[in-house]
Amino acid sequence: MRYETILHSLDAGVVTIALNRPEVMNGLNAQMRLEITHAFTHAPAAARVIVLTGEGRAFCSGQDLGDRTTALDRDIERTLREEYEPMLRAVYDCPLPTIAAVNGAAAGAGASLALAADVVIAAQSAVFVQAFARIGLIPDAGGTYWLPRQVGFAKAMGAALFAERITAAQADAWGMIWEAVPDDTFAATVQSRAAQLARGPSVSYRLIKEALRASFGNSLAEQLDLEARLQGEASRTRDFQEGVMAFLEKRPARYEGR
């Protein structure tokens, strides 16, 4: 696919997907949703981690309300089911570790898109806004799923009802994101974090994602059983053998991702 609304690059195992409609603060239109979905489901074979970020001063302002093909579409339910859901599932179900590098405002569906990633790193100047109530809607694009799981019911309800700006520092303190970092070190921090994951044991990362996500619906007995099964799978990988040998030989591990 030829991308028109995103920038796509691969360097040392790190795929960077940059939303590239800065003139509308990277507002989501149908084409961008399609391209994000494709980029996450067709990662190059050499990819080890995916970073999602935004060009310009915003991460993503959510639905592009100026896009008349969808903004005034009365069948919003259809748009959510046929366009948003595949995009969000592509991000959430990606077997690779994913980082949302929130460089600026993440509003509405843009905030939900960021929270779909495994790890969110935000610049100190970034803000998150569940803006839906301002126009008579409810949080969507997975917002009602991810937000209460990450910040708890009370904070999620307040964020949805009041639709107030949540600073990166607040999001960090609430547990909504992994970390908020100074703007002047933001790019270097994201690059360092992505490089760390790209060098790591990718099978282990995939199994970690599976285990942690399953824990919300499992009993203790079910989770212990799942841990034993997944740990058995991890222990049969070359990465595990390499990790142990590197530890014993007191050297950095060289993981192959298998």
Contact 255, 202 (CB under 8 A): yes
Q: Where are the beta strands (DSSP E) in the chain?
A: 6-11, 14-19, 49-54, 58-60, 98-102, 105-107, 119-123, 127-129, 165-167, 179-181
pLDDT of residue 232: 96
Residues 118 and 40 in one domain: yes
Q: Is there a domain that residue 257 lies in?
A: no
Domain closes at, from 198, 222, 237? 198
Residues 14 and 40 in one domain: yes
Q: Is there a domain that residue 256 lies in?
A: no
Q: Is the pLDDT at 74 greater than 70, yes or no?
A: no
pLDDT of residue 70: 53
The dihedral through the CA atoms of 202, 49, 9, 109 has a sign that is positive
Query: 10: domain CATH number?
Result: 3.90.226.10
Range of the domain at 231: 202-249
Q: Is there a domain that residue 71 lies in?
A: yes
pLDDT of residue 176: 96
Q: Is there a domain that residue 99 lies in?
A: yes
Domain closes at, from 198, 223, 240? 198
Q: Is the pLDDT at 73 greater than 60, yes or no?
A: no
Q: Is there a domain that residue 114 lies in?
A: yes
Tens digit of pLDDT for each residue in 184-216? Answer: 999 999 999 999 999 999 999 999 999 999 999
**Cα distance between residue 120 and residue 142, in whole Å:** 15
The pairing of strands 127-129 and 165-167 is antiparallel
Residues 54 and 34 in one domain: yes
Sheet holding 105-107, edge to edge: 58-60, 105-107, 127-129, 165-167
Q: Is the pLDDT at 111 greater than 90, yes or no?
A: yes
pLDDT confidence of 66, banded at 50, 70, 90? confident
Q: How many domains is the chain built from?
A: 2
Q: Is the pLDDT at 125 greater than 60, yes or no?
A: yes
Per-chain mean pLDDT for the chain: 94
pLDDT confidence of 256, banded at 50, 70, 90? confident
- For 200, which DSSP code? S
Residues 10 and 119 in one domain: yes
Residues 69 and 167 in one domain: yes
Whole-number Cα distances in Å, 37 to 117, 134, 225, 238: 13, 28, 33, 31
Q: Is there a domain that residue 1 lies in?
A: no
Tens digit of pLDDT for each residue in 80-110? Answer: 999 999 999 999 999 999 999 999 999 999 9
pLDDT of residue 1: 85
Residues whose CB falls within 8 Å of the CB of residue 47, separated by 6 or more in sequence, listed in order: 10, 13, 14, 15, 96
Residues 80 and 112 in one domain: yes
Q: Is there a domain that residue 254 lies in?
A: no
pLDDT of residue 75: 83
Query: 240: domain CATH number?
Result: 1.10.12
Helix (H) / strand (E) containing 149: helix 143-151
Q: Is there a domain that residue 34 lies in?
A: yes
**pTM of the predicted model, to two decimals?**
0.93
Residues 170 and 228 in one domain: no
Residues 140 and 15 in one domain: yes
Residues 131 and 234 in one domain: no
